[in-house]
Every structure is written in structure tokens, then in C-alpha cells.
Amino acid sequence: MLADLASLDHTVANNLWRVRHEMSEEDLRWLDFTCAGVELEPGGGDRAVTVETRAAYVRLFCTYLLKQRFQTNLQAFVTGFFEVVPARLLHGVHEDGVLRLLAGKAEVSDAQVGELEQLVVPTGLIPTKLRDHPRVREAAAWFFQAVRAANGEFRSRLLEFWLGVGRLPLAGVATLRPRPRLQVMVQPDGVRGVKRIGSWPPDRLPEGHTCGNELWLALPESYAQLHDKLQLAVENFEAGFALR
């Protein structure tokens, strides 16, 4: 739902992502189950958001915005859409089929992969202060090597995993907003320059965060390890971006 909301209001979606993944119990205590004074569930004004309930809070918040607050706009779109495409033609067609019918099936070319790499490396690498470290650059190089080695279907799924859409804009990769970023999960180390973040061992699967067009990557020990983990994450991301 956050990916859907991001297409309408990126700022709100990004804030909700922080609620779901980053905020501490201390930060959450200021929130309750309301949105702009509207209760998200009966008695929501008296229910505090906690670490245990924040997933439900984010789900209800997204549901309210997508299905209720924007209902008038969505209904106008649906009415206009079915004036162009009769509903009977879509009977029994899965949502993925409708998407491909509308957007087409565009292959991600080698040239587009190269443009994406130029956009991300080095200015889109995170942490910013460590983006020139050889280990970080090596991880980024292995990542794009794996993308080049993949077929068109995998590349499209990778874009969905990373950016929330399966094709690049016709106006060019540089028009992507927010700008795609690749975060190698490292932190400064006085001896070696960088070290892994403790919660991100090398066997942890990559995570796509489509609200901010970010892909989080554990510092790999080898190209083969990165390739296998990326493939597993992308091919199974319907089960959750945080699949481990």
C-alpha cells in the first residue's frame, strides 16, 4: 500500500515508512489511530500507536487515504477509464494483465542499465561520506554487473522491487523522482575504513524501499553471493520487501 500511496503523495508515504520501520517507542507515543481528526477505527482517538500496533496503524492510514479520502477522485478516474475501455473487455483479467495492457511490456536495455548506473554511481550511493570507499564501490559494481547479466524479465522485476514500476520513463532515466539510490549497509570503522552494520550480515537479502526509490544492500563477500541474494530477493519480493 505504501508504494501505491507514494504515487499520490510521496511525503506522506515516506513519513509512514518511517513510522513502520524507524520510529522508537518514544516517538510513537505522540500518535494515535486518527488521520486529520478522523478516527481510523472505532475509538481510534483513544488508541495509542506502539511498536506492536504501528503496522496496523500504517495499514489503516493507507487504507483511509487510498480508499476514502481520494474516493471522489478515484471514482472520477474509474468512470472516465471505462468510457474509453469497456468494463466487459477486462472481465476476468488479473491486475497484472491490466497493467501490462496499459503500460506495455518494455524491455530494460543494456543502455538503460548503463544510464541507471551513471545516475546512481557515485552520487546516489549511501552512506554519502563512504561512497568513495573501495568496498562500497566494489559492491555497487557487482550489483550492476548482476543486473547486466540478468534477462529482461528479471530487470523489470528489479525495477518494481526498487522503484515500484516495471519500466523506465520514456523521458529517460534521469527524470526518475525521487532519484534512485543504492545504500550499502556499512558504517565508518577506524581500522578498515568501513564495516558492516551489525543487523546486516552478508547473507541478509537486499530490501527495496519504493517510497524513496532506495535499495538496501548488505556488504557482500563476493560477486556470487551478491548475485544469488539479489536474485532470491527480487524473485520473491511479493512475500515482503524485508524477506530474510
Domains in the chain: boundaries: 2-71, 110-239
- Please pick, among 186, 205, 211, 217, the residue that the annotation labels catalytic: 211
Q: What proportions of the chain, in percent to the nearest 5, are helix, strand and coil?
A: 50, 10, 35
pLDDT of 241 reads: 40
Q: How many CB atoms lie within 10 A of CB 154?
A: 18
Which amino acid type is present at position 196?
R
What is 110-239's CATH number?
A: 3.30.2410.10
Task: With cut-offs at 50, 70 and 90, classify the pLDDT of residue 94.
Answer: confident
| 238 pLDDT more than 70 | no
Distance between the two ends of the chain, CA-based, in angstroms?
A: 20
Ranges 44-48, 74-78, 88-92, 173-177, most confident: 44-48
Burial 90-111 (b: 16+ CB within 10 A, else e): eeeeeeeeeeeeeeeeeebeee
What is 2-71's CATH number?
A: 3.30.2160.10
Instruction: Let me know if 35 is a catalytic residue.
Output: no
